[in-house]
Amino acid sequence: MGEVGGLVLAAGYAATGPSGEGDSQQDRPAGHGTSRSDDLPSSQRCADALRPVDGGTALAVVLRTLAAVPVERVVVVLGEDAALVRQQVSLAGVSVVELPEPAPMIASIRAGLEALPDAAGALVWPVDRALVAIKTVRALIEAHANGARIAVPLCALPDEDEGKRGHPVIFDRRLFDALRSAPDSEGAAAVVHSRGAEVVEVPVEDRGILVDIASPSTQAFLSRMRAVAKQIGAPQEHPDEGPAGRRPSQRKRTPRRPQ
């Protein structure tokens, strides 16, 4: 049996306003896909994979994080913007699956699982949650290695975000059939919610598990950070930091099953 494979969901679009900023989306429990905006004209859409974040595009940052973990086998699911993404992001060393027609996010998961037939599990990572720390991904993989069938990151920061579930999520291969048969209307969330006893929450001091990089507030913040970095010079990245340069707390937290 293989190791956990990375399944990056990059087939979605986020709606954009006149300024090009993404419309804010509500926080969704882990397992929910992002909404698409296929009814909008192309001039009012932006591929989530190409959203600018620190270090490049969202997809490039996710791939860089997976390489640093490291995750050896990575599958990227692209949508109708595949040609544009290929032009702007290096996909060397990863497998690419294309969905040329608009489809719900669970369709991306189904397609990606077909490219991971021997994986022990799948790290399902929506590309619009690009700012996840390397250490967080390692903690999820460790939880899976210790027996978790579903490993979900749980924000452990002592503020209003404490206790919120985020992304990415690891599904053990024994749940692949459940993911394949999940209803389009609910997606992977149906699997997470129906198998509560198999969910292990992994506490992490990493707000990146919650941050939607397509939201206007996040894009505005990243724009300000880029401007500051140009003025003072970007700091060197610590091996355990996330893409945005966050250094997680050194406190050890134990994965837990929900009460």
DSSP class per residue in 180-224: HTS-TTTTHHHHHHHTGGGEEEEEES-GGGT--TTSHHHHHHHHH
> What does the DSSP 8-state code read for residue 115?
T
Alpha-carbon distance of 234 to 140, in angstroms, equals: 29
Type of residue found at 19: S
Q: What is the pLDDT of residue 227?
A: 75
Bridge partners, residue 76, by sequence: 8, 96
* Positions in the chain whose pLDDT score sits under 70: 1, 12-46, 233-254, 256, 258-259
pLDDT in tens, 40-87: 334 335 688 999 887 789 999 999 999 999 998 999 999 999 999 999
> Long-range CB contacts (< 8 A, 24+ apart) of 225-233?
225/54, 226/52, 226/54, 229/54
Enter the tokens of residue 21: 């900023």
| CA distance from start to end of the chain | 31
Give all domains of the chain, ordered by start, each with its CATH number.
Answer: 4-15+30-232 (3.90.550.10)
Whether this model's pTM surpasses 0.85: no
